Amino acid sequence: MRNNPQTTDQQQFAAIEQGQETAIAQLIHQHKNQLYYAAYLLVKDRYVAEDIFQEACIRVLGSIRKGCYAEEGKFVPWVARIVRNLAIDHIRQSKKRAQVTLPNGADIFDFLDSGRRNHEEKMELSASCKTARELLNEIPYNQREVVVLRIYGDMSFKEIAKLTDSTVNTVLGRMRYGLINMKKLVTENNISI
């Protein structure tokens, strides 16, 4: 993890304002795993998540080049909203939530691994992350959406409420019940994370 994401993002935007086009790509690359994973948790399909992430990048690039985005330290929540909207559009179009496992059997959390762990730690992390993903898949969609946007989208409850056209109390309730339901599943199935 980065020590101070705000400063890093602000530095990237300063470079963008100075006309350095590569700074946009670097900014997106810094948050790629987090945003891709948010898309994956919402659509549960690796290939669709890749398409959604790519489409979000295209939209972000266009908006930044047009000067339609002013950096206020909210880059990740802004892109997370775009990813979320694209995911909802996909779900509405497909009218189903297909679940596809990775062809090589690898866990999606492996992409988030920093590479600084030994083999045993990687195996434990992979198993824990797989379990957490499975638990997320078991809770209702509206709860899963809030948990994903809060944890992986770095969005505040107020931002999630605005994005989902809900009240803050509704969002807080969905987060609470989502975590309660996940904890209940852990207890019922005697799972250790």
Give the mean pLDDT of the chain. 76
Note if the pTM is more than 0.85: no
The mean per-residue pLDDT over the stretch 5-15 comes to 70
Q: Are 43 and 92 in contact (CB under 8 A)?
A: no
Question: pLDDT of 59-74, one tens digit each?
Answer: 888 887 777 777 676 7
Nearest Cα to 31, choosing from 160, 126, 116, 153? Answer: 153
Cα–Cα distance between 137 and 63 in angstroms, integer? 33
The mean per-residue pLDDT over the stretch 41-52 comes to 87
Cα–Cα distance between 153 and 83 in angstroms, integer? 9
Structure tokens at 187: 């207890």
pLDDT at 173: 92
- 77 has pLDDT over 70: yes
pLDDT at 123: 58
- 2 has pLDDT over 70: no
Q: Which of 13-17, 182-186, 189-193 has the lowest mean pLDDT?
A: 189-193
pLDDT at 170: 92
pLDDT at 126: 62
Q: How confident is the model at residue 121 (pLDDT cuts 50, 70, 90)?
A: low
Cα–Cα distance between 193 and 17 in angstroms, integer? 44
Q: Best-predicted range by mean pLDDT among 48-57, 110-119, 143-152?
A: 48-57
Q: Which residue has the tokens 């509206």?
A: 142
